[in-house]
């Protein structure tokens, strides 16, 4: 089984933009993305590497 490795925030951002999310605002080192019909925004920290687990927490 393949190991899940951390990815950069830029790669994660591309995934959410491709899924229809739009950049809304930035507060410090966290970027907020919203999508019509989705009640909660997606928060992506702008760290060098993002552990896969943190992207699953809502």
Q: Mean pLDDT throughout 43-58?
A: 67
**Whether the Cβ atoms of residue 9 and residue 51 lie closer than 8 Å to each other:** no
Residue 48 phi, psi dihedral angles, 5° rounding = -60, -50
The reply to whether the predicted model has a pTM over 0.85 is no
Q: Which domains does the chain have, with CATH numbers?
A: 9-56 (3.30.920)
pLDDT computed for residue 31 by the predictor: 93
pLDDT computed for residue 22 by the predictor: 96
pLDDT digits (tens, 9 = 90+) for 20-32: 999 999 999 899 9
Q: Is the pLDDT of residue 7 over 70?
A: yes
pLDDT computed for residue 51 by the predictor: 63
């Amino acid at each position: 089984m393949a190991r899940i490795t951390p990815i950069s925030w830029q790669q994660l951002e591309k995934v959410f933009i491709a899924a229809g999310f739009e950049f809304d605002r930035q507060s410090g080192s966290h970027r907020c993305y919203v999508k019509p019909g989705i009640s909660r925004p997606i928060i992506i920290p702008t760290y060098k590497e993002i552990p896969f687990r943190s992207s699953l927490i809502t």
